[in-house]
Structure formats: structure tokens, C-alpha cells
């Protein structure tokens, strides 16, 4: 098996390594941004699987023959995705280009895509071995393994299978297989071992999405019930939509969180996405009439209950499931990068202490080795933290009683008592008290340069507090204690 | 396969459910809690963001999911320090022009939605969101952080309005110390003009 994974710039956020600095809230107008990328890659290979928003996988074997080599195929996919995202890439600072990788299995291919490389056939295990555990396992398992002196995938893979299963359970056993480069998850056009298909026919054919969705309710529930009876769940379902002229469009969907199978409600949401995409892209494919006559659901990745359900999420309630489904749906409305969660990590400045993670990524995976909120961070301000952290920062002017600019001297002191503060050229505020300055010499958000800056807490009338920064003879507001 | 017909639920069905709030805030609320299905407006030129977070902190700790819409510069650490478990907090920082639609979807599945409208909000949209919250028993907290117009208000009367009047901070003294303990003076009033107004102080420090 050879798997190609493409990461769109949006999907990159999910996969970004610690060195990528563009995860902090740049202006994102991501509405429906990802759909053109899917369409562009589909034009290269019709059987694609969307692993997560922004992340597409396909079986590379056929197209490789067609395009005359894996490097050529990668370049083709990269170019198609780049053209499709080109519209958004312009004018967005630091916007990454799409990345593409090929490897023997899906997991290795995802890692390869982050690095934009092709892993040689049979080389998955070796390629993966040097990556830290955090790319695969959650913080808890990482901690336990870390205490055993295991910090890379290679070291994890070297453990005997039996002791991993015995000590950490089935889920860890599955991860252990992935670390060893044994990733037999079915992809794209490979048929499921057993056929689980459920479909419904519209009479007459309809263009109304809500009507199609109503019709789809029964087959979706039948499929799930059918699986349930056999003690199975499906983590990958192909949704097929056929028009009244017999043209069909199929799309393979994977569950957002790798561990819980599809339920009927999620299937309907996925179908809704697919139908809305069809309606928006009515020109593509040109022959599709839009009058939908038949829909069918086909379970692809089918596994016994329990294998996948060892929740790294620590168990979920009905309310959690409902909330997560609803958030999936909002993500479908607004675009993949629009919905995020946040994790706190180490750092001195408020902005660098938080990492944003697109919804659907396991946030625990972002708690990386070597950076921890529990570590003492010299120079970090004590609690409470500011309720607003500005990004971009706000310009500020700080004057003394006589109307002169207050500066921080080379000895790290204020040149005068601060008296008045103006933020973003709004009205002047009276400064009633202050703390600092505290100076920092460090590489800050710009890792390539060292900077020297000083921070001051300013307390203004009515108890409005600000964290201001002085650098290169200018003030700005980093955060507000709103 | 037949699906069960959902039972007809009256609009008041959620009235008995409620969202808990921290004690000092509870003292200021007419019933000591916030009814499920309410719209709560939080405003004030300083302290509104902290007060909004504090309003939803208790229910978040008790298991509710919280969606924060339109607050691009939310201080994540502050939210965490005030008690919001980040694993159940989703951020929709820049929700584009389809934010009303997004909020409408969220109110159907997430217990608590904190919204700072990214654009003008019409009275019609505001009423629509309120109706969904009432129907689903969710909580919509609308706010506007520092830096916006002081006289911001929600286009239709909220069930409860919390106004942060001013904050008193401890810890600073002419260059020494850091901001630490904080008390926010709060004014609370209800939907109707004649509803009782209460004032009090909410501690927001550590």
C-alpha cells in the first residue's frame, strides 16, 4: 500500500510542528475555503478520503503509475491544492503552502506530509522512529512511557507487542502498531471486508436538501443498527449520492475523533455537508443534475466495539456527544479553521503561552515534550491573567504629567511617573498606579531575532488595567485586564 | 425502521432547569441562579469580559460545554483561572458573516454560548437567537469587551443585564508589586423597566 496525504494550509494548523509560528490567530476568513481543495485533488484521483477538515488521503498506487512517479504525483497534488488555495493565500501573512507526503500507511503519510517528504517503500518504521511520542500518543500515555525512559516512536516500537497490550491495553496496542509502521487502515477505494450498505430512493427525485435528509434518516439508522447487532462500529463511511440521470458522487468520511464510531445523526450531518457542497459547486461536475434520486451509506472501516472506544477523552456523556456533534456542524458551516480549542503551555508572554488547535484534533496531543505550564517561567507575571490578549497588539502612548513620552531607561527604570495613557488613539485615560517595569531579553515571537523589551502594568481610572510593553522607544498594549 | 416521534415540549419546560453561578453573583440575581433558556447581557467599560467568564464558570465546571463566539482576543489563561475547563471550551474567534447562523446551531447543542457580536446585530436576529435559547434551554451570554463603545447594548432587552461599573485592584504601589486581588462593582437588573435593580461586589481575584 502507498498512501498519499495532502495537508491544505488550513489542515496544517492541525498538524503544525512547534516551529510553525502561524497558529496564533491570523485573520481567518475560512468560510468554505477547504472545499475547492478537495475538489482539486479529486480531479487527480476520484477516490479520496477526507481524514479531517484540511487533510486528504488517497491511494497513491494508481495515480503514481498514471503520472509517472511518486514525486511527480506529489507535485501534481501540491500544485492543484496550491491553485485552489491561491485565492486565500495572497494577502495572508505567513500563510503556508499545501504540503504532500507519501508513505506506506496513513499515519506515516500524515507525518510525511507535514515534512513534505516521500518515505521509501518499506521505510515507514524507520522514518517514524525518530519522531517524539507526542505525534502519536496522548499526554497521559506519553507521561507513563516517559517515566520508562521512552521518548521516541522508535523506542516505543521496540517494546514487545505482548507487554504493551498487557500493560496499556488494546488502544495502546493499536498505537504501538502505528509506531511500528503497521498501519492497515483501509483507505479510499479498497472495499470493506464485509458489505454494510443501506440506501433509500427518492420518488420523485428532489433538489431540496431537507427532503433528502429526511429520506436518509431511515437508511442511516438501519446501517448503524445492522452494525450494532454484530457488535461492530464503523469509523469510515462512504456516502453515495445519485442523481436522476444515474450520475453519482461519492465521498468517504472518517469520524472526527478516531475512537468512536459513526452514529446515525453524524451520518446525516456528513450527508448534509456533501449536499451543500454539491449545491454550491453546481458546475462541478458539470453533468450532475442536482435532482437527487438515491443516496446510500456504505460502512468501510468496520471494527468490533471496544477496540476503538478506549477513550483517550476520558469517557463522554450524552451531553458531550451532543455538544461535539453540534460543534462539528458549526465547523461545517464556518470552515475547518474557524472552530478551535486552546491549550496552555509554557512561556512568559500571554500570547506565547497559549496554543490554538482546530476543532477535531485531540488537544492533548499538543502538550509537547519539554514545554509545560508547570515549569517555572522566570519573568512570567503572576495571576490573575489578563482577560483580553490582543493580537495584533494595540498601539499606545504613555505620557508623564508634563506631556512628555515616558520611556524605559537603559537601567530598566521609567523616566517619569506615568500620568496619561492613550490606546489606539482613543480618549486619554488617567493612570492611577503602575507596576514594573520588568525587562526581558529573549527571543520572543520572532525566533530569528533577540529582542529587549520591558513590561509595565498600568492601572487607570475605574480600575481598567493594562499590560503594556515598551520596545524600541514605542509603547503598545499587549493585554487588557478587562 | 420507525423513529420515535419527539414529544411536544412546551416553552416553559426548561424553566425549572437552571445554570449555577458563583455565590457572590448568585446573591445579586433575583432567583440566585440563571434560568435555562435565558439571555444575559454583560456590559461595562472595564471588567465586562471577566464578568462574562465568571457568569458561565460555575456551569462550565459542572460539565456544560461553552462556545465563545466573536471574542478574538480572549485571554485563555484568564478563562482557565476563572474556572472554565478548556477541554470543553470551543472558540469561534472570527466567525465571518455567518455568525448568526453559527450561534443558532450552537444554541441547539451546546449549553452555554458567550457571544460578542462581530457585526451589527439586528433586533430580528437577536430575537431569533433568544427564541432558540428558550426552546432548547441553553444560555446565551452577550457581551462586548474593552475597547468598544461604552454605551453598547443588546438590541432587545435581555432577561438579565449585568453591568460592570468599576474594578478595585490590590497589589500595585507606584512601580512595586503586581495586579492581584480584584473586586468588580456590579449592577444587575432584569428585563422590565420596573424590575428591581441590585448592586454588589464580585471578587475576581485569587
Residues of B within 8 A of A217 (CB-CB) are 3
Nearest residue of chain B to residue A437 (CA atoms): B175
pLDDT for the residue numbered A43: 77
Q: What is the end-to-end Cα distance of chain A in Å, rounded?
A: 55
Is A385 within 8 Å of B81 when comparing Cβ atoms?
yes
pLDDT for the residue numbered A34: 65
Q: How far apart are CA A144 and CA A63, in angstroms?
A: 42
Using CB atoms, which residue from B64, B86, B173 is nearest to A433? Answer: B173
Neighbour count for residue A169 (Cβ, 10 Å): 12
Residue A256 CB contacts under 8 Å (≥ 6 apart), including other chains: A52, A324, A328, A360
Tell me the nearest-neighbour CA distance from A466 into chain B, angstroms. Answer: 10
R_g over Cα of chain B? 17
**A353 — contact with chain B (CB < 8 Å)?**
yes
Is B77 within 8 Å of A391 when comparing Cβ atoms?
no
Q: Among A282, A57, A74, A298, which residue's Cα sits nearest to residue A185?
A: A57
Tell me the nearest-neighbour CA distance from B73 into chain A, angstroms. Answer: 5
Residues of A within 8 A of B167 (CB-CB) are 462-465, 481
Q: What angle do CA A470, A473, A476 make, to 5 degrees?
A: 40
Nearest residue of chain B to residue A427 (CA atoms): B147
Domain ranges of chain B: 16-166
Condensed to tens digits (0 to 9), the pLDDT of residues A221-245 reads 889 888 877 767 787 888 888 888 8
Q: How far apart are CA A267 and CA A264, in angstroms?
A: 5
pLDDT for the residue numbered B162: 93
pTM recorded for the entire structure: 0.55
Indicate if the pLDDT at residue A150 is higher than 70.
yes
Cell digits of residue B65: 460545554
- Do residues B122 and A365 touch, judged by C-beta distance below 8 A? no
- Do residues B190 and A450 touch, judged by C-beta distance below 8 A? no
pLDDT for the residue numbered A246: 79
Tell me the nearest-neighbour CA distance from B6 into chain A, angstroms. Answer: 14
Residue-averaged pLDDT of chain A: 76
Is B86 within 8 Å of A363 when comparing Cβ atoms?
yes
> For a pLDDT cut of 70, what percent of chain A falls above it?
75
Of the pLDDT bands very low, low, confident and very high (cuts 50, 70, 90), residue A374 is: very low
pLDDT for the residue numbered A67: 85
Using CB atoms, which residue from B65, B76, B105 is nearest to A344? Answer: B76
Using CB atoms, which residue from B48, B102, B145 is nearest to A334? Answer: B102
**A318 — contact with chain B (CB < 8 Å)?**
no
Q: How far apart are CA B189 and CA B195, in angstroms?
A: 7
- Do residues A469 and A479 touch, judged by C-beta distance below 8 A? no
Of the pLDDT bands very low, low, confident and very high (cuts 50, 70, 90), residue A30 is: very low
Cell digits of residue A114: 507535514
**A272 — contact with chain B (CB < 8 Å)?**
no
Q: How far apart are CA B143 and CA B152, in angstroms?
A: 9
- Do residues A73 and A67 touch, judged by C-beta distance below 8 A? yes
Determine phi and psi for A468, rounding to 5 degrees.
-110, 150
Using CB atoms, which residue from A28, A327, A481 is nearest to B179? Answer: A481
DSSP per-residue codes, B74-142: B-HHHHHHTT--GGGEEEESS--TTHHHHHHHHHHH-SEEEE--SS---HHHHHHHHHHHHHHT-EEEE
Cell digits of residue A47: 477516490
Chains A–B, number of C-beta pairs less than 8 Å apart: 203
**B65 — contact with chain A (CB < 8 Å)?**
yes
**Helices then strands (H, E): number in chain B?**
5, 10
Helix axes A209-229, A264-280, angle to 10 degrees: 150
Helix axes B99-109, B123-136, angle to 10 degrees: 10
- Do residues A199 and A241 touch, judged by C-beta distance below 8 A? no
Is A334 within 8 Å of B175 when comparing Cβ atoms?
no
**A288 — contact with chain B (CB < 8 Å)?**
no
Q: How far apart are CA A337 and CA A31, in angstroms?
A: 9
Q: How far apart are CA A353 and CA A385, in angstroms?
A: 11
Indicate if the pLDDT at residue A446 is higher than 60.
no
Is B94 within 8 Å of A338 when comparing Cβ atoms?
yes
DSSP per-residue codes, A67-80: HTSHHHHHHHHHHH
Instruction: Return residues 109-148 of B near A (CB < 8 Å).
Output: 109-111, 145-147
**B66 — contact with chain A (CB < 8 Å)?**
no
Nearest residue of chain A to residue B205 (CA atoms): A384
Instruction: Return residues 443-472 of A near B (CB < 8 Å).
Output: 457, 459, 462-465
Q: Which of A21-35, A271-285, A298-312, B42-56 has the lowest mean pLDDT?
A: A21-35
Tell me the nearest-neighbour CA distance from B168 into chain A, angstroms. Answer: 6
DSSP per-residue codes, A126-172: HHHHTSBGGGTS-HHHHHHHHHTT--BHHHHHTS-HHHHHHHH-HHH
pLDDT for the residue numbered A317: 63
Neighbour count for residue B175 (Cβ, 10 Å): 16
pLDDT for the residue numbered A258: 43
* Stretches in chain B below the pLDDT threshold 70: 1-16, 145-151, 192-194, 205-206
**A184 — contact with chain B (CB < 8 Å)?**
no
**B11 — contact with chain A (CB < 8 Å)?**
no
Cell digits of residue A176: 504501538
Residue where the block lists cell 485531540:
A362
Is A221 within 8 Å of B102 when comparing Cβ atoms?
no
Tell me the nearest-neighbour CA distance from A68 into chain B, angstroms. Answer: 42
- The residues with which B74 forms a beta bridge, in sequence order, are A388
Is B182 within 8 Å of A433 when comparing Cβ atoms?
no
Cell digits of residue B163: 453591568
DSSP per-residue codes, A285-315: STT--S-EEEEEEEEEEEEETTTS---TT--
Q: Which of A211-215, A317-321, B4-8, B115-119 has the lowest mean pLDDT?
A: B4-8
- Helix, strand, coil share (%) of chain A residues, nearest 5: 35, 30, 35
Tell me the nearest-neighbour CA distance from A455 into chain B, angstroms. Answer: 11
> May I ask the CATH class of domain B16-166?
alpha beta
pLDDT for the residue numbered A124: 92
**A425 — contact with chain B (CB < 8 Å)?**
no
The Cα-based distances of A242 to A33, A39, A129, A199, A207 in angstroms read 25, 18, 44, 11, 12
Indicate if the pLDDT at residue A148 is higher than 50.
yes
> For a pLDDT cut of 90, what percent of chain A falls above it?
21
Is B175 within 8 Å of A481 when comparing Cβ atoms?
no
Cell digits of residue A130: 525518530
3-state secondary structure of A266: helix
pLDDT for the residue numbered A340: 87
Instruction: Give the best-scoring range by mean pLDDT among A20-29, A95-104, A355-364, A411-420.
Output: A411-420
Using CB atoms, which residue from B78, B88, B92 is nearest to A387? Answer: B78
Using CB atoms, which residue from A338, A424, A462 is nearest to B92? Answer: A338
pLDDT for the residue numbered A375: 40
Is B77 within 8 Å of A344 when comparing Cβ atoms?
yes
Q: How far apart are CA A73 and CA A71, in angstroms?
A: 5
Indicate if the pLDDT at residue A154 is higher than 90.
yes
Amino acid at each position: 500500500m502507498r498512501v498519499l496525504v495532502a495537508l491544505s494550509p488550513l489542515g496544517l494548523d492541525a498538524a503544525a510542528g512547534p516551529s510553525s509560528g502561524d497558529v496564533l490567530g491570523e485573520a481567518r476568513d475560512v468560510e468554505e475555503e477547504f472545499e475547492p481543495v478537495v475538489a482539486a485533488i479529486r480531479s487527480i484521483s476520484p477516490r479520496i478520503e477526507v481524514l479531517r477538515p484540511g487533510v486528504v488521503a488517497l491511494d497513491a498506487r494508481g495515480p503514481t503509475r498514471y503520472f509517472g512517479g511518486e514525486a511527480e504525483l506529489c507535485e501534481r497534488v501540491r500544485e492543484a491544492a496550491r491553485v485552489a488555495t491561491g485565492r486565500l493565500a495572497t494577502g495572508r501573512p505567513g500563510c503556508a503552502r499545501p504540503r504532500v507526503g507519501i508513505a506506506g500507511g496513513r499515519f506515516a503519510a500524515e507525518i510525511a506530509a507535514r515534512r513534505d517528504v516521500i518515505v521509501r517503500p518499506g521505510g515507514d518504521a524507520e522514518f517514524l522512529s525518530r519522531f517524539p511520542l507526542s505525534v502519536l500518543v496522548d499526554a497521559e500515555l506519553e507521561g507513563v512511557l516517559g517515566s520508562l525512559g521512552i521518548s521516541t516512536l522508535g523506542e516505543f516500537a521496540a517494546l514487545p507487542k505482548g507487554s504493551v497490550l498487557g500493560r496499556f491495553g488494546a488502544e495502546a496496542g493499536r498505537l504501538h502498531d502505528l509506531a511500528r509502521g503497521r498501519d492497515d487502515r483501509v483507505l479510499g477505494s479498497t472495499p470493506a471486508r464485509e458489505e454494510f450498505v443501506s440506501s433509500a430512493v427518492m420518488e420523485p427525485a428532489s433538489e431540496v436538501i431537507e427532503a433528502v435528509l429526511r429520506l436518509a434518516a431511515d437508511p442511516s439508522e438501519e446501517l448503524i443498527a445492522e452494525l450494532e447487532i454484530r457488535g461492530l462500529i464503523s469509523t469510515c463511511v462512504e456516502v453515495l449520492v445519485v442523481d436522476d440521470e444515474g450520475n453519482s458522487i461519492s465521498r468517504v468520511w472518517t469520524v472526527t475523533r478516531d475512537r468512536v464510531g459513526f452514529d446515525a445523526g453524524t451520518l446525516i450531518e456528513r450527508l448534509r455537508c456533501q449536499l451543500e457542497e454539491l449545491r454550491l459547486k453546481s458546475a462541478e461536475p458539470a453533468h450532475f443534475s442536482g435532482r437527487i434520486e438515491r443516496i446510500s451509506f456504505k460502512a468501510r472501516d468496520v471494527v468490533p466495539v471496544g477496540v476503538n472506544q478506549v477513550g483517550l477523552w476520558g469517557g463522554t456523556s450524552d451531553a458531550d456527544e451532543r455538544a461535539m456533534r453540534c460543534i462539528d456542524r458549526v465547523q461545517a458551516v464556518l470552515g475547518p479553521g474557524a472552530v478551535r480549542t486552546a491549550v496552555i503551555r509554557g512561556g512568559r508572554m500571554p500570547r506565547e503561552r497559549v496554543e490554538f488547535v482546530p476543532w477535531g484534533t485531540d488537544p492533548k496531543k499538543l502538550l509537547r515534550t519539554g514545554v509545560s505550564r508547570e515549569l517555572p517561567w522566570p519573568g512570567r507575571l503572576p495571576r490573575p491573567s489578563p482577560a483580553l490578549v490582543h493580537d495584533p497588539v494595540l498601539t499606545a502612548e504613555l505620557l508623564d504629567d508634563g506631556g512628555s513620552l515616558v520611556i524605559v531607561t537603559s537601567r530598566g527604570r521609567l523616566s517619569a511617573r506615568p500620568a496619561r495613557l492613550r490606546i489606539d488613539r482613543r480618549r486619554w485615560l488617567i493612570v492611577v498606579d503602575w507596576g514594573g517595569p520588568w525587562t526581558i531579553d529573549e527571543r520572543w515571537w520572532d525566533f530569528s531575532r533577540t529582542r529587549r523589551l520591558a513590561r509595565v502594568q498600568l492601572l487607570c481610572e475605574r480600575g481598567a488595567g493594562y499590560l503594556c510593553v515598551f520596545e524600541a522607544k514605542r509603547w503598545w498594549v499587549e493585554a487588557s485586564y478587562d | 425502521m420507525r423513529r420515535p416521534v419527539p414529544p411536544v415540549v412546551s416553552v416553559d419546560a426548561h424553566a425549572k432547569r437552571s445554570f449555577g453561578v458563583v455565590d457572590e453573583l448568585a446573591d445579586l440575581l433575583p432567583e440566585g441562579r440563571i434560568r435555562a433558556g435565558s439571555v444575559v447581557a454583560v456590559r461595562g467599560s472595564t471588567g465586562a469580559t471577566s464578568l462574562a467568564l465568571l457568569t458561565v464558570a460555575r456551569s462550565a465546571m459542572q460539565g456544560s460545554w461553552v462556545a465563545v463566539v466573536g471574542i478574538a482576543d480572549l485571554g485563555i489563561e484568564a478563562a482557565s483561572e476563572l474556572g472554565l475547563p478548556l477541554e470543553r471550551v470551543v472558540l469561534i474567534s472570527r466567525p465571518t458573516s455567518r455568525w448568526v447562523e453559527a450561534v443558532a446551531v450552537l444554541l441547539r447543542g451546546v449549553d452555554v454560548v458567550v457571544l460578542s457580536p462581530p457585526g451589527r446585530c439586528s433586533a430580528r436576529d437577536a430575537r431569533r437567537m433568544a427564541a432558540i435559547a428558550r426552546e432548547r434551554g441553553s444560555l446565551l451570554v452577550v457581551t462586548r469587551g474593552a475597547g468598544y463603545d461604552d454605551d453598547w447594548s443588546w438590541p432587545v432587552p435581555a432577561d438579565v443585564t449585568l453591568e460592570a461599573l468599576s474594578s478595585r485592584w490590590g497589589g500595585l504601589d507606584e512601580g512595586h508589586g503586581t495586579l492581584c486581588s480584584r473586586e468588580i462593582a456590579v449592577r444587575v437588573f432584569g428585563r422590565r423597566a420596573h424590575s428591581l435593580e441590585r448592586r454588589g461586589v464580585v471578587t475576581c481575584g485569587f
